[in-house]
Structure 1
């Protein structure tokens, strides 16, 4: 490691941690709403009975969620690389040079919102067993 390397990264890492904490809070809000709506009001399509749908549907739901999420991520990420959107939303993420482990979630709040809404929106549209939802989130 070059002399002074870690000292130069200190301010960058502090910025990344700050943006990452804000992003985590933004991701938590829709997740909390989903959990509350599911547990309290039954608003979502999340189910707990293994026999509510055919067993073959369990992995299909996971694949549907991953396909929908990755499609959403791909197109919103492409949009954020357009100059106007990049400056307003995505530059925070790319400001991490060299990238550190903290850069993974270092997002401007608007970018965090675009990432935070996909899975929570899907639970209102596509039925999924709670364990399979856990699998999606783990992946």
Structure 2
């Protein structure tokens, strides 16, 4: 018996052909994770506020701040973007991700930088923890 002739050829199909024929479906309610770098002081404030009102979820509070900025603010001044060690995760749906992408294209920057710009302005307007404008990055 040759190697090519198997008793049951279905059990010996190449894995490449099998994987190529089946495409994974992407969930329609999938959320996009955006990491926004923040300063130590901002991270501390977000941690405190999230423990008070959001059951300890920095992500939920960060997402809420970003969505506030997208829905209620219309002017986003240019801010310096520094890649800092502390990040806030924001989980947004596909439509919101696309809207941030439109701002990124308009401002000629990445989606992460555009989200940072929106987040910083929204954070200033929310006035969490009594932080002044000069203390956020």
Place the TM-score, normalised by the shorter chain, in its bin: under 0.3
- Which structure has the larger Rg over C-alpha atoms? 2
Tell me the TM-score normalised to structure 1 length. 0.27
Structure with the largest fraction of helix: 1
TM-score, scaled to structure 2: 0.27
Of Structure 1 and Structure 2, which has the larger fraction of its residues in strand?
2
